[in-house]
A and B are shown apart, each in its own frame.
Chain A
């Protein structure tokens, strides 16, 4: 898999610029984004079994927002802090993949 004249990229390490090739893994890495604490995202793909709250409802820390069925278990998604439900983005019975915003709170 040798190219005769590879196209080198510029790569900076500690202020020094080097000419080198990138690896595929390096090019495909995810850029880090600060997580938004108001977004309740799914940590595993699954089915929304039951919604326990309505938009505008005041919820205390630890209370169950919804039940996500995944890996044959009913997972309780809990409220991370005292607050209010702003918007619910999913419906009961819907299958969702990982990292989807299910509920926004404030």
Chain B
């Protein structure tokens, strides 16, 4: 089987499962049908015609997960290092075309040494064909990449084009140029794990969406994800029997009365979702914003929420990127979006400005404005300035905007605003600190509440925290048949 006994032993010694084992673990039992088992490579240079490569290093086929069909491919590291040659690529593109035609999800298990140098440009041609199909299928069928080995050079662009990337500690490695090339050309020494290991991509680069400590944990995550998302862009996600939240925390008590103290927004999410289940995505990247899937009365809902526990929940380059892509995913696959807002503004700093927080922040605005799925916003606490607009305000097309009584919707926080608006009074006063304190209180009384915005109809209702879940469910039922169009165009030009 595969590349032979010795190769399989090496694979196991590295802590990795074989390609076939992986496929069997993900799919329902006995559901896998393999295609192209007997495909042979066509390379003739470098003595390749004397070599037999079983299945040319990749296993493709179809199966079911939770009794629904999926297409799957798994690169086999035991056969020629899983390197990609022309026929290897053709097998992958065959199953990709199949998945797109049949409108079923595509799961790709990457475990490859890269392009097969012996096949030269044919390998590159193979990669190109795969990337083209990744893009064609993007937004039509869910595409999932599982990195269970090295994925280097050009190969790593395929996962980058797919919707969700799964990585496993110590097993996944993703980079464009490896450590040896970096050392030779640039003289920088770094290990494979430090350069592009699972942690690097989950925490720093944002290339990975899910992090697991073992392959088995990864497969469980994949199955969970599949249960939340629809099979293709014309369907809605599977409806589950509705459940009440089981969280022991009382939603009224999670948010501290002092607006400067933090809390974990996930506690709030868990007190409103079915069974208090929250499937978080990109947990370790841009922790100042939280995204993920939950269910409300059995239907999948996408959550975007500021996280006051990290960096006070500010918006910045990374969090805008993280949220914007997720919003576009939900929009493409008919998943309503619930936004929970509690943020004091954008992260200040030269490094942010020079990194292009303008451009990245604009992505978030674009994503929300463009989305036509039902969009519901609940303002929990702070909603200041540009961030108030960016977090799915009425003005960007939110269908329902609710606010808790603790909401503060203002251009700026009381401290900042008082310093600017009453600057003259404070500087001319005999006791500036006293006057400043007084002015801050005045501003707080007048503006740090939801009623100013409510008076203009910018928010629909001021609600009690305990009513949140039922109101969200009510709003979602209302928006079941929502129709919203955009002007006819090929596509917009988001600030990439």
Contacts and interface: CB of A to CB of B under 8 A. Distances in A.
Nearest to B317: A25
Contact of A22 (B188, B311, B415): B311
A22 B310 contact: yes
A19 B284 CA distance: 20
Nearest to B418: A15
Nearest to A10: B260
Interface stretch (A26-34, A54-62, A76-84): A26-34
Contacts of A6: 309
Given A11-B311, A26-B311, A32-B354, A16 B344 contact: yes
Given A13-B345, A30-B351, A25 B204 contact: yes
Interface string B199-234: 000011000000000000000000000000000000
B256 to A, nearest CB: 9
Contacts of A45: 185-188
Contact of A25 (B185, B318, B348, B354): B318
Interface in B300-337: 308-314, 318
B310 A21 contact: yes
Nearest to A28: B204
Contact of B384 (A14, A17, A97): A14
A14 B345 contact: yes
B170 interface: no
B261 interface: yes
A23 B415 CA distance: 24
Contact of B308 (A20, A44, A98): A20
B302 to A, nearest CB: 23
Contacts of B350: 32
Contacts of B414: 16
B416 interface: yes
Given A13-B344, A30-B351, A97-B187, A20 B415 contact: no
B489 to A, nearest CB: 36
B187 A13 contact: no
Interface residues of A, number: 29
B185 A20 contact: no
Interface string A34-78: 000000000011100000000000000000000000110000000
A29 B357 CA distance: 15
Contacts of A15: 413, 415-416, 419
Contact of B416 (A1, A14, A29): A14
Interface in A81-106: 95, 97-98
Contacts of B348: 13-14
B263 to A, nearest CB: 10
Nearest to A24: B203
A23 B352 CA distance: 14
A21 B309 contact: yes
Contacts of B419: 15
Interface string B349-368: 11100100000000000000
B140 to A, nearest CB: 34
Contacts of B188: 45, 97
Interface string B404-422: 0000000011111001000
A104 to B, nearest CB: 23
Nearest to B414: A16
A1 B349 CA distance: 28
A29 B187 CA distance: 23
A11 B314 CA distance: 10
B312 A11 contact: yes
B288 interface: yes
A18 B344 contact: yes
Contacts of A70: 185-186
A85 B344 CA distance: 50
Interface of B: 185-188, 203-204, 260-262, 284, 286-288, 308-314, 318, 344-345, 347-351, 354, 384, 412-416, 419
16 contacts: A1-B284, A13-B344, A13-B348, A14-B413, A19-B260, A20-B311, A21-B310, A21-B311, A25-B203, A26-B347, A30-B351, A32-B351, A32-B354, A45-B185, A70-B185, A70-B186
Interface of A: 1, 6, 8, 11, 13-26, 29-30, 32, 44-46, 70-71, 95, 97-98
